[in-house]
Amino acid sequence: MLDSLAAFAGLTPVECVIVASAIFMAGVVRGFSGFALSALVMASVTVIIPPVELIPLCWFLEMTASIAMVRGGIAEADRGIVTGLVVGSIVATPVGLYFTTTLPVDTSKSIALLTVLALAVTQLARVRWRFLATKPGLYASGITAGVVTGLASVGGLVVALYVLSQDIPARVMRASLVLFLFATSLATFFYLAFFGLVTNTVLARAALAVPLVIAGVYAGKWIFRPSLERYYKRFCLLLLIGLACFGLARNAGIV
């Protein structure tokens, strides 16, 4: 059974187990935090699946997670913030995708991760950027997220940093992130198709991964409860810093 599934996905049985486990755990984090699914998958699976194949797979995972979370999970979202971020991200994603085809993979990913790391550290240090409270700051964050999405499929991390910088309750942050990822996933597919990244292999792997990410998301949604909301922001910032550091260390050949 495992051999057949692995062959269908174009992987070895061991690789199939590793990828499946990573996708499930990423789904759990997504269900709790509202983001980080693609970043976790990219961080843990790029040694097995090349980024050019992993980015479109992440789209299917994100869309599945968004559908699982969007119903009844966006009523508290800040629609004004989400709209600005979506517009900026959609406009800028093709720029990142273009550089993905012209820059070395490690260079593209390092640029994206350094951006995330710098912003996360300042947030954890409670540095307040007044610019982010303005309309230009909102759209600039969306544009940055779009470029990073194209470079390494981790634009959601930039958006998470922007949302976490706002003085709003954890449930509003989470709902806003869920709505943003749902809206941008709808548009991103057309870019992926235009650049020829949606292949039969990607579709086969997506078919196997969808049930895993659904199970993970619902487990994460169960964990997110009022008693844990006060830990939400710090957990998310530490998660972002950990992801960025791990990614940079891997690019440098340290791990």
What DSSP line would sit under 151-187, residue for residue?
HHS-HHHHHHHHHHTSSS-HHHHHHHHHHHHHHHHHH
Question: For residue 72, what pLDDT band results from cuts at 50, 70 and 90?
Answer: low
Share of the chain above pLDDT 90, in %: 16
The reported pLDDT for the residue numbered 199 is: 86
Nearest to 209 by CA among 77, 81, 30: 30
Most confident of the ranges 22-36, 46-60, 152-166: 22-36
Rounded to the nearest integer, the mean pLDDT of the chain is 83
Question: For residue 106, what pLDDT band results from cuts at 50, 70 and 90?
Answer: low
Question: For residue 225, what pLDDT band results from cuts at 50, 70 and 90?
Answer: confident
Q: Give the separation between CA 55 and CA 62, rounded to whole angstroms.
A: 10
Residue 123: pLDDT above 80?
A: no
Does pTM surpass 0.85?
A: no
* Region class of 72: left (phi > 0), else alpha (psi between -120 and 50), else beta: left
Q: Give the separation between CA 180 and CA 66, rounded to whole angstroms.
A: 9
Residue 95: pLDDT above 90?
A: no
